[in-house]
Amino acid sequence: MKKYVTELPKEELELQLIALYERYPEVKKYYDFIFNPKEEALVQQAKTKISYEYFPTRRKRARARRSVAHKYIKEFRKLEMDPQWVAEVMLFNLEIAQVYEEKRPLADAFYKSMWKSYSEAVQFITYHHLKGEFETRLKKILETVQQRAWPFESEFTRVYDLLEEETGLTN
């Protein structure tokens, strides 16, 4: 591929790139993001859609699907969005889920899903050295889990304790 691209005349390469942009939505999305990121607007749009999962305006019942937030997180990571914005969406998903759960007990699958989301957020934040910016929110999420005695509470606590050990956070 590299040999092919280097041997192509500039005009043909430009035409192929434009054709890819016009033909494939993923390529278009990538280049639109590269040329005009608008990260804050994309994050706000994601937060709005995640909120509708728990507090819908057009239907009666909430769906509360973790997959909606996970789709945005995966897309933002693929676009190589600033890790702060990705972490923001990860924690927002957990926080809105806790607001939703406050009024109704839910199935264990919900709590297991939230534990997985919390674990992924802690790993992501640790990897990108963002603990200073998100420590308070991570701790608040954990405290809410403990106060409400969520199933898998010990797993939430274990994940946070590992974060403290690895990064030297204090209680």
Q: What is the pTM of this model?
A: 0.82
Task: Count the neighbouring beta carbons within 10 Å of the beta carbon of residue 136.
Answer: 9
> Do residues 142 and 160 make contact, with C-beta atoms less than 8 angstroms apart?
yes
Chain segment 34-87, per-residue pLDDT in tens? 888 889 999 999 999 999 999 998 888 888 888 999 999 999 999 999 999 999
What distance in Å separates the CA atoms of residue 58 and residue 123, rounded to the nearest whole number? 35
Chain segment 122-137, per-residue pLDDT in tens? 999 999 999 999 999 9
* pLDDT on residue 168: 62
Specify the DSSP class assigned to residue 102.
T
What distance in Å separates the CA atoms of residue 39 and residue 164, rounded to the nearest whole number? 29
> Do residues 110 and 64 make contact, with C-beta atoms less than 8 angstroms apart?
yes
* pLDDT on residue 171: 45
